[in-house]
Amino acid sequence: MRLAELPHRLAAAVRRFTGARAYRRSLARGEPAGTLGYVFTPWPAPDPPLVELRLRADGETAVARAEAAEWRRRQTLAELRVVGMTGDGREAWRIEADRVEPDTAAAWFAAPGGLPEVVAAHLESCLLVSAAEVVDAVVLRERVEPPLATAIGDAEPAHGEGLRPWALYRCDAYRWEPSSDTVRPTRAGRLVKLVDTTGVADLPRDATVWGRSRRGPYLADHDLGPDARVALRDAALLGRRPAAEPRPAVLVTVPFLARGGAEQTLHATMAALARRFRFSIATLAPHRAALGDRRPDFLEITDRIVCLGDLVHPDAMLGMLLALLDAEGARILYNANGTTLFYDFAARLKAARPGLRIVDHLYDHRIGYIDRYTPGLEAAVDACVAENRPIAEVLVEERGWPADRVPVIWPCGRPEEALPPEAGRDRLRASLRHELGFTDRDVVLLTAARLHPQKRPLDLVALAGRVRDLEEIHLLLVGGGDLEAEVDAAIAAGGGLRIRRLGFRRDIPDLIVAADVGCLVSEHEGLPVFMLECLQLGRPFLGTRVGDLGAVLDETGAGLVVDRPGDLEALEAAVRRLADPATRAVLAERALAAAPRFSVAACADATARVLLGGP
């Protein structure tokens, strides 16, 4: 060994020693242990996949064929075959898979003691994870209880109940014995991945748990050591077969389905187009509780929601996206909200599926994902929906994109049926204002936004201080996010400021009715949906000149615009103008007159044309 290498060798030895000690301590506490890595491993193309759900057809745990058939219809996994077996191993009945030849050998199987109530895409998500990661079982549970170290290898049903009802097993690692309704391992050295419907499962204690990763943990029947790797494979090699469906299939990619303006427009547009297109959704980033969760709302439109960002490492996602495209027969991919991973995948998706039409959506012309619009991306992205005119101007005039590939589609407000009925709005307003502690004399400025630096929520706290002398002015801030603790602390330190923060709410239209003015003081925007909702409900708007926000208010006369974000003096002057009832009344009339320009139908029709590639 050369002398120069000695410091590096010593440093590596120290890291191994300290890592091993921390690993043992974490295991003793039942916490995630070790460091987690991923490595690709080759995998030849298998036969088309088949998942068999094996059930007892007799005895105390028997499941009737009709019950199993109804349960299967609620799942999205077309490769799912359900088999009822007697205690001596004979087949009593069978429900064939939709897109697999009857004699195809099973690659995976699920064998619960009954029929678990899971979301429709649960087994499909499980299949994709098992195809992308070299694990022996994928456990989909809300909570995993101990003792799980014995559960993955013990033959006793009592010990297996913590694992079996939500697990998908590989046939080469486990077998199911119908006589005892028991899953038994066929070899040692097994690795199990734990996930649940909202992401990573709670960690069990008294088990070998490993993996400091948002996409873990993993469970094994042996000591994995402080450093280990999960092998990845290309899930596109599953060879999934497309559905026979006349509607064009669209795979929608988003980072997550939070509560925000982009998600509101996406939900309204998809709902309006649900009869013309067959939608599925893949999320690419972990869901964050602080941003709210709109997955239940989107499940009303499509039951095919696969949360890749909560399930796997990004290196595994490309193949899973291709597998989803194949299963749907989708020729259209719509990236409805920005994520770095989309721009990493776009060229590779186009290379793998040259006939795929890729449509992206941009929300700002100065910062963010517009910087990813290089000449190379033009070859992969067929069209870019521009949220506002400045985005289109930058792409066409500065980046050289053809104008017909950069359509401007303004977002929409809410469907009329989603707004409070006009006949009951006065009563709703009085009720909510009483609930919130506002009087008839109070003038309420409402902001509904993520508490993120982009939205500049601390400016609102400072603004409340500047108009402290206007006793009728109250600021109401609705939302949560990265800055919520800082905003709450600033409000508390203000000493009696008339500004209040509420967490995420589902009743934003009701709150708009209860308020007098909508307000956003953002650093940048596309065209905020919250503003459009305020116009629909006849509320004037105060905003900064960002995106098309200022242009719309200029054209419609429906509010006041501050030219520079962060200009507290100009914001104060605007609030003082809005304290005048006559000024608010004039602006409110203009708001109602402008609202039809932002209907759901107009936005949906324009989006449909872009998705299909028509004029």
Does 116 or 559 have the greater pLDDT score? 559
Q: Looking at residue 4, what is its pLDDT?
A: 58
pTM of this prediction? Answer: 0.81
Give the distance from CA 222 to its chain's centroid. Answer: 34
Please give the Cα distance from 477 to 538 (Å, whole number). 19
Nearest to 321 by CA among 298, 304, 345: 345
Q: Does 16 score more than 80 pLDDT?
A: no
Q: How confident is the model at residue 204 (pLDDT cuts 50, 70, 90)?
A: very low
486 in the same domain as 341: no
Please give the Cα distance from 611 to 334 (Å, whole number). 7
Domain boundary among 215, 236, 257: 236
273 in the same domain as 171: no
Q: How confident is the model at residue 205 (pLDDT cuts 50, 70, 90)?
A: very low
Q: Looking at residue 522, what is its pLDDT?
A: 95
- The answer to whether position 128 is within a domain reads yes
Using CA atoms, how far residue 198 sits from 260, 293, 382, in Å, is 19, 10, 33
Please give the Cα distance from 352 to 41 (Å, whole number). 19
Q: What is the pLDDT of residues 34-67, one digit of tens each?
A: 677 788 887 665 667 899 999 999 988 899 999 9
Please give the Cα distance from 519 to 541 (Å, whole number). 6
Q: What is the pLDDT of residues 262-296, one digit of tens each?
A: 898 999 999 999 999 999 999 999 888 777 889 99
Q: What is the pLDDT of residues 525-546, one digit of tens each?
A: 888 889 999 999 999 999 999 9
- The answer to whether position 203 is within a domain reads yes
250 in the same domain as 230: no
Nearest to 291 by CA among 325, 338, 330, 259: 259
For residue 460, the one-letter residue type is L
Q: What is the pLDDT of residues 537-591, one digit of tens each?
A: 999 999 999 988 999 999 999 999 999 999 999 999 999 999 999 999 999 999 9
Tell me the mean pLDDT in the region 72-98: 93
Please give the Cα distance from 54 to 52 (Å, whole number). 6
Phi, psi (degrees; rounded to nearest 5) at 74: -85, -5
Please state, as a whole number, how many other Cβ atoms lie within 10 Å of the Cβ of residue 122.
21
Q: What is the pLDDT of residues 418-456, one digit of tens each?
A: 899 999 999 999 999 999 999 999 999 999 998 999 999
Q: Is 425 strand, coil or helix?
A: helix
Q: Does 2 score more than 60 pLDDT?
A: no
Q: Looking at residue 404, what is its pLDDT?
A: 93
351 in the same domain as 438: no
- The answer to whether position 145 is within a domain reads yes
Q: Is 545 strand, coil or helix?
A: coil
The string of DSSP letters for 312-377 reads S-GGGHHHHHHHHHHHHT--EEEE-S--HHHHHHHHHHHHH-TT-EEEEEE--SSSGGGGG--HHH
Kindly tell me the burial class for residue 193, based on how many C-beta atoms sit within 10 Å of its own C-beta (0-12, 13-18, 19 or more): buried
Please give the Cα distance from 310 to 301 (Å, whole number). 21
The string of DSSP letters for 390-402 reads HHHHIIIIIS---
- The answer to whether position 343 is within a domain reads yes
Q: Does 370 score more than 60 pLDDT?
A: yes
Phi, psi (degrees; rounded to nearest 5) at 580: -80, 120
Q: How confident is the model at residue 149 (pLDDT cuts 50, 70, 90)?
A: very low
Are the C-beta atoms of residues 432 and 511 closer than 8 Å to each other? yes
Q: Looking at residue 44, what is its pLDDT?
A: 62
Q: Which domain holds residue 425?
A: 419-598
- The answer to whether position 260 is within a domain reads yes
294 in the same domain as 261: yes
Q: What is the pLDDT of residues 222-275, one digit of tens each?
A: 777 777 788 999 999 888 888 888 999 999 999 999 888 889 899 999 999 999
373 in the same domain as 274: yes
- The answer to whether position 44 is within a domain reads no
Q: How confident is the model at residue 214 (pLDDT cuts 50, 70, 90)?
A: low
Q: How confident is the model at residue 359 (pLDDT cuts 50, 70, 90)?
A: very high
447 in the same domain as 370: no
- Which element (helix H / strand E) includes 7? helix 6-28
Please give the Cα distance from 100 to 240 (Å, whole number). 9
Q: Looking at residue 137, what is its pLDDT?
A: 86
- The answer to whether position 374 is within a domain reads yes
Please give the Cα distance from 176 to 45 (Å, whole number). 26
93 in the same domain as 179: yes
Please give the Cα distance from 470 to 579 (Å, whole number). 8
Q: Looking at residue 163, what is its pLDDT?
A: 46
Q: Looking at residue 160, what is its pLDDT?
A: 39
Q: What is the pLDDT of residues 451-492, one digit of tens each?
A: 999 999 999 999 999 999 999 999 999 999 899 999 999 999
* Adjacent-strand bridge partners of 517: 445
Share of the chain above pLDDT 90, in %: 55
- The answer to whether position 141 is within a domain reads yes
Mean pLDDT across the chain: 85
Q: Does 211 score more than 80 pLDDT?
A: no
505 in the same domain as 365: no
Tell me the mean pLDDT in the region 58-84: 92
Are the C-beta atoms of residues 449 and 501 closer than 8 Å to each other? no
436 in the same domain as 353: no
- Indicate the number of domains in the chain: 3
442 in the same domain as 387: no
Residues in the chain: 615
Least confident of 198-212, 324-338, 500-514, 517-531: 198-212
Look-up of token digits 């017909």: 404
443 in the same domain as 381: no
What is the CATH number for 316?
A: 3.40.50.2000
Domain boundary among 354, 381, 412: 412
